[in-house]
Amino acid sequence: MHVPDGFLNAPVSVVTGVVAAGAVAVALRGARRELDERTAPLAGLVAAFIFAVQMLNFPVAAGTSGHLLGGALATVLVGPYTAVLCLAVVLLMQGLLFADGGLTALGTNITVMGVVTAVVAHLVFHGLLRVLPRRNGARGPVAVATFAAALISVPVAAIAFTGLYAVGGTADVSIGRVFAAMVGVHVLIGIGEAVITTATVGAVLAVRPDLVRAARSVARPALVIRGGAGADAPAPAPEPEPAAAPARSLRPLWLGGLGVAVVCAAFISFYASAEPDGLERVATDEGIAEEAREHGMADSPLADYGVRDVDNERLSTGLAGAAGVAVTLAVGSGVFVAVRRRTGHGAAGSGGAGNDGEAAGRRETVTP
């Protein structure tokens, strides 16, 4: 759903740029509460993973493809504020290095693909967790809430773009037709988004449930009231305080996630669908595509996800994908480490528990 230059007029582009800048500023402050010794190293990896999986366009209808947006995935794993920063980093790297998504439309893309998807996913996920039964543990409700959050976030983002186009679109088209086409195709893309997001979150839950930030509140053991006496029953005798849990390194998960991202970007991406994505298809069918302008970074050595002067298409795509993962990981990790250092977690007695009130004395290995 990367919006190119020329689809929206200058006033709307300026407004969305201001909205995006404001959202990033708010996210920087909010991320200070979300980033701890677990989420800070993970957040950079999440950004790199989203970049990689966005290269894997999958077919959704005849002549149309879709790809992961990633807002719901990042929100569930590292929190909504950090998710906005993840998507901002990904979109910035795509725009500057790969000529994907217009430069004047960068604010629009951050607003639609980052802010809207993160906010919607956060509201849907936590709204469902409040009402879903938890008879068989936390994983079932988390999976259902994750699937729904990812599925709904995509068509809502499509609606947001349509609203912006109704205000400042540069082509004289039927907004009703654009709305119907955008929502219809992005519901299908949302199903793919939901499957990818739920599978990824499930994989992390299986090995390190403590790293799924949105699920921490339901992963804690429930309070057991003995004897059915209710809240007024005498409290049971306190049990001896458990010894400090042994350090659990993030290195295995971090390296495994990085390996998956590199494989997706450097190898599997060559087999991705070459059909236009949902926005491109709708723009072509409705006469909007004619308004697109040439990207300001069209001469970038990595434009269109290929390396200039490398004639072998498979090698060119693979090198570009691997470079994108590396740069996104480096920039994202730098941002998140810097934000976390400003929180003073390390000196404020976080004790490895972050902001979630987990048992004191738990230790985590910070370096991935």
Q: Please report, for the domain that includes residue 182, its CATH number.
A: 1.10.1760.20
- Position 112 in a domain: yes
Query: pTM score, two decimals?
Result: 0.86
- Position 2 in a domain: no
- The predicted-structure confidence for 160-203, as pLDDT tens digits, reads as follows 999 999 999 999 999 999 999 999 999 999 999 999 999 999 99
Q: What is the mean pLDDT of the chain?
A: 87
Contact yes or no for 365/247 (Cβ under 8 A): yes
- How far CA 30 is from CA of 173, 181, 196, 214, in Å, comes to 39, 35, 26, 15
Which range in 33-42, 72-81, 348-357 is most confidently predicted, on average pLDDT? 72-81
Amino acid at residue number 57: N
- Position 356 in a domain: no
Q: Which of 283, 72, 91, 62 is nearest to 182 (CA)?
A: 283
Host domain of residue 157: 10-219+259-344
Percent of the chain surpassing pLDDT 70? 84
Number of domains in the chain: 1
Burial of 367 (0-12, 13-18, 19+ CB in 10 A): exposed
pLDDT value for 352: 38
Mean pLDDT of 196-219: 89
Contact yes or no for 219/138 (Cβ under 8 A): yes
- 332 pLDDT higher than 90: yes
pLDDT value for 136: 61
- Position 102 in a domain: yes
Q: Which residues contact 295 (CB under 8 A, 6 or more apart)?
A: 4, 5, 99, 102, 103, 303
- Which of the residue ranges 14-23, 173-182, 348-357 would you say has the lowest mean pLDDT? 348-357
Mean pLDDT of 261-276: 96
- 261 pLDDT higher than 70: yes
Higher pLDDT, 135 or 58: 58
- Position 250 in a domain: no
Place 346 in a pLDDT band, splitting at 50, 70 and 90.
very low
Mean pLDDT of 271-295: 95
- 80 pLDDT higher than 50: yes
- Position 349 in a domain: no
- In the block, tokens 């053991």 appear at 221
- Which of the residue ranges 228-232, 293-297, 307-311, 336-340 would you say has the lowest mean pLDDT? 228-232
Contact yes or no for 278/182 (Cβ under 8 A): yes
Q: CA 85, CA 107: separation in Å to the nearest integer?
A: 13
- Position 231 in a domain: no
pLDDT value for 219: 55
- Which of the residue ranges 124-128, 148-152, 268-272, 352-356 would you say has the lowest mean pLDDT? 352-356
- Position 322 in a domain: yes
Place 155 in a pLDDT band, splitting at 50, 70 and 90.
very high
Phi, psi of 66 (to 5 degrees): -145, 170
Mean pLDDT of 105-127: 98
